[in-house]
Structure 1
Amino acid sequence: MCSYQTRIEKAKKAIEDAEYILLGGGAGLSAAAGLTYSGKRFTNHFGPFIEKYGFTDLYSSSFYPFETQEERWAYWAKHISLNRYEVGKTKLYMNLFNLVKDKKNFVISTNVESQFEKGGFPSDKVFEIQGDYSYLQCETGCHDKLYDNELLVKEMIDKTVECQIPSNLVPKCPVCGGEMDVNLRKNQFFVQDEKWYESDMLYKRFVEKAETKKIVFMELGVGFNTPGIIRYPFEKMTYYSEDATLIRLNKDHPEGLVENKNKTISFTEDMEEVVSVLIE
């Protein structure tokens, strides 16, 4: 790997010369921005749940088999609120917007906390393919409408007692009467509403327009939980695009296709520092 300064200069030049920039955001990006799922951020906000259920982090606790809906929604209300409503704009996401705002750009992200939009990216240039903390859906996907949850989440938190919400606040599907769920892709019942399909179409159109142009793929904190969404497609498009550069910011998995070696600029350094230097 070249020196840090050499990689910075190469990345700056690639961004400067690019006509199109496609950003791919993964969990490592939000963690770098401060939205961590463990450590003090977790223990400072989930003390009662840690004591009652033995939770160790926000990721594993999201799979906990709660015995009642009242317990389940007390947890999820706090989880959603902390990651979607209690956190404002973050410096890293705002810097990313400032880095690419003068180029034709688009975002595809597996993150679900809407930080790209908070950071300045227009909603029609962001595809949150895995869902959005802001919405509830029918648990069995009986229909394709999503429901804004901000006011309900706030009320749930205000009325939580001993890690439970009142029964009258447990959300029910207005169509089938069954349970509701957070709009996150975790099983075959994930709801893709009209906006989801519109974002999917806009993403595909962007890629089609950019594939023969000078393009930069910026892969940001993408691991191997869902590599088929961002990591592998970015590698493939870089390989087949004559004027493509892949800029990968990933402290744990900087490696990529050997065939793309001369087209890839990888950074394992602190992501916030790298992006800050790139906009100087």
Structure 2
Amino acid sequence: MSSKTTIAEFTNNYSDPIKAVKRFSARADAVIVGAGSGLSTAAGLTYTGPRFRTYFSDFQSKYGIENMYSGGFFSFPTAAEQWAWWSRVIWLNRYQPAPNDTYQQLVHFLRRTNYFVLTTNVDHQFQRAGLDKERLFYTQGDYGLFQRSASNQTFDNYQLIKKMVLAQGFKLGPDQQLLIPQGAQIKMQVPVELVNQAQPFSLNLRVDNNFVEDAGWHEAANRFSSFIARHQTGRVLFLELGVGMNTPGIIKYPFWNWTANNPAACLVTVDKSRLIYPQEISRRTIAIKGDLANFIQQLNN
């Protein structure tokens, strides 16, 4: 496939793109979802704005950090502050429910199809929404896991992360909501004993060559590869949701190629920002520039 691309709000072939997606999915042999960070943003898991300022105003004031994403690359002077930062990020985006039910609605739609989900998101929201884990491949890791590269192992981090946020002065609501008690002075560090418990580990996030692909990761990768191999032909819907260009080799480029090589396939790409797809498959592409949560809601109407 050439590198020539088209940017558009929607293809001219579809007067009603939502109806076209629903019609194709109803008769599809398979629906393959590629989910990026835009999907979690649509579910309310925003990394900036009021949500960031509510829980990280102290880090913003002290270090000038503007959002949860950039803060992940900040070099904190102490491990106690580093784990205070990361425990908040992990709790808010992994253990606390998402503000909106976007993932639940998407899972409800997918259950009516023969589907598989490929995601670069690390917030575990598909699992929380009840997606069959046998139909999910989370390529870039999981906020809920620590890893030890030397032994190629991952470990659940719930209990330790919970201790860290509570040690900073937060409280937990009945739905695991992170609460700031009235008049409480939230600390920007965690106790040394919790730091020592965390020190043997790193986060299971693909940030360098030390990322651990454990047995569970490889099993999910193999299930996804087998699903793709079974659906190289036939009516296949490639549903690209909130996928940007940070790591196009994981979702975008493969989806383009699989669509190009299968004349019966259809690519759907939905995002609030730029919509990019190859000219060669434009006749079989439904590109919708708009609110992703609203799009998923309309799929269920």
Counterpart contact for 2:43–2:99, Cα < 8 Å: no
Cα offset for 1:179?
A: 3.9
The code of the aligned residue for 1:236 comes to N
Q: Say whether the 8 Å CA contact 1:171–1:180 is kept in structure 2.
A: no
Aligned to 2:195: 170
User: TM-score under structure 1 normalisation?
Assistant: 0.93
Match of 2:113 among 103, 106, 111: 103
Q: 1:273 aligns with which of 289, 294, 297?
A: 294
Which residue identity is paired with 1:131? G
Letter matched to residue 157 of structure 1:
V
Matched ranges for 1:23-62 at <5 A:
23-62=33-72
User: Tell me, which stretches of 5 or more residues in structure 1 are unaligned?
Assistant: none
**Paired residues for 1:122-271 under 5 Å:** 122-138=132-148, 141-160=149-168, 162-171=187-196, 179-271=200-292
Following TM superposition, by how much is the alpha carbon of 1:171 offset from its aligned partner in structure 2, in angstroms? 4.6
Runs (4+) off by over 6 Å? none
For 1:232 and 1:238, the matched residues in 2 are separated by 10
Q: SS of the residue aligned with 2:276?
A: coil
Shift of 1:261: 0.5
CA distance in 2, matches of 1:241, 1:201: 21
Structure 2: which amino acid aligns with 1:32?
A
* Structure 2 counterpart of 1:35, one-letter code: L
Deviations 1:150-204 (A, max 9, x none): 110010111126311111111557xxxx642111000010011100000000000
Paired residue secondary structure (1:146): strand
Tell me if structure 1 keeps the 8 A contact 2:14–2:20: no
Distance 1:163 1:277 in 2: 42
Give the unaligned 5+ runs of structure 2: 1-10, 169-185
> In the TM superposition, what is the alpha-carbon distance from 1:90 to its structure 2 partner?
4.0
C-alpha separation in 1, matches of 2:83 and 2:15: 48
Tell whether the 8 Å contact from 1:117 to 1:123 is kept in structure 2 after alignment.
yes
The separation in 2 between residues aligned to 1:35 and 1:144, in whole angstroms, is 30
Q: What amino acid sits opposite 2:80 in the alignment? A: E
TM-score (norm 2): 0.87
Deviation at 1:120, TM superposition (A): 2.1
Q: 1:215 to 1:89 in 2, by over 3 A?
A: farther
Aligned with 1:7 (options 17, 20, 27):
17
| 1:255 Cα deviation after fit | 2.3
Aligned residues of 2:45 and 2:98 also touching (Cα < 8 A) = no
Q: Match of 1:91, as an amino acid? A: D
Match of 2:173 in 1: none
The Cα shift of 1:273 comes to 1.1
Among the aligned pairs, what percent are the same residue? 35
Q: Is the 8 A contact 2:33 2:239 kept in 1?
A: yes
Partner Cα distance (1:113, 1:194) in 2: 20
Contact 2:44 2:99 survives alignment (8 Å): no
Q: Is the 8 A contact 2:47 2:69 kept in 1?
A: yes
Partner of 2:77: 67
